[in-house]
Amino acid sequence: MLSVKSVNQYYGQNHILWDINLELYRGQCTCLIGRNGVGKTTLINCIMGHLPVKSGTISWQSANAEPQSLLNLPVETRALMGIGYVPQGRQIFSQMSVDENLQIAMMAGRNKTRRVPEAVYELFPVLKERGVHKAGELDENQQQQLAISRALVQEPELLILDEPTEHTSAAMTANMGNIIHRLNRDLGLTLLLVGHKLPFIRTVADRFCLLDGGRNVAQGTLAELDEGLVKNYLTV
C-alpha cells in the first residue's frame, strides 16, 4: 500500500533520516516507534509532503490501482489519493464549531457529498450532539475524537496518527486503543501509528518499525519486538 525505500532527509546540513525503509500492508496497523527525537514525526512529514525528501522513494498504491510516486506531489493531492492524517497536538480550529471543522476537512478529501459519513457519528456520537459548539469548548477526549473525525470525513484508505496518546490519562489511552481497534477492524482502515508507549502499542499494532538516530534498527511483527530491542532502543 505504502512503500518507503532508502529515504534520506536533511534539515539544512544536518542529516536527519538515513536510508529509511518502511512497508505498510493493507488492513494492518503498523506502529512507528522509538524514543523522542529519533525522526518519527520527520518521516511522517515526508510521507505527507510537508518536508522534502533528499533521496529515495515513497510510493502509494490505492485499491485496484497501479503504484505511483508521492514525491513532488503537494499535500492536498495526497489527501485526495486516500491518505488521512491526524497530526500531533490535534490542530483543530478551536474558535470554529465542530460542524465547521468537519466541513472544512471534507473540502480537502475525496468526500464529494459534503455530508459527514454516518460511520463517523456512530464512532463519535458526541460530535453530532455538540455540532454547533466551538471545538475549543470540547474536553480533551472529545477534541481528539474531532481530530480523528476530520481525517475520516475525507474517506481515507490509510490513516496516519501521530502520537495520539501523548499527554493523555490512562483512561484516555485505553479509550484510544478501543478507537484504533474499531478503525482498523470495523472500518477496515490501514493504520500507521506513531508512538512510544509500549504497553499501548502491544494492544493495537500488528507490526512495528523501530527508529533510532534517524535509522531503521528493526521492523517486523509485534512478536519480533523482543526484550533486547526494548532495552536497547525504547527504555528511558
2-82+157-233: CATH class: alpha beta
Contact between 193 and 33 (Cβ < 8 Å): no
The residue to which cell 473540502 is assigned: 107
Contact between 219 and 22 (Cβ < 8 Å): yes
Q: What cell was used for 6?
A: 532508502
% of the chain at pLDDT higher than 90:
73
**Average pLDDT over every residue of 89-104:** 91
Quick one: which of 218, 226, 217, 188 has its CA closest to 1? 188
Instruction: Tell me the pLDDT tens digit for each residue of 9-35.
Output: 999 999 999 999 999 999 999 999 999
State how far the Cα of 198 lies from the Cα of 132, in Å rounded to an integer: 37
The number of angstroms, rounded, from the C-alpha of 15 to the middle of its chain's C-alpha atoms is: 24
Instruction: Tell me the pLDDT tens digit for each residue of 204-216.
Output: 999 999 999 999 9
State how far the Cα of 35 lies from the Cα of 41, in Å rounded to an integer: 11
Task: Kindly calculate the radius of gyration of the chain based on its CA atoms and give it in whole angstroms.
Answer: 17
Strand pairing of 14-24 and 2-11?
Answer: antiparallel
pLDDT at 151 over 90: yes
Instruction: Tell me the pLDDT tens digit for each residue of 177-206.
Output: 999 999 999 889 999 999 878 889 999 999
Quick one: which of 185, 217, 190, 154 has its CA closest to 60? 190
Domain ranges of the chain: 2-82+157-233, 91-156
Name the least confident of 75-89, 95-109, 164-178, 184-198.
Answer: 164-178
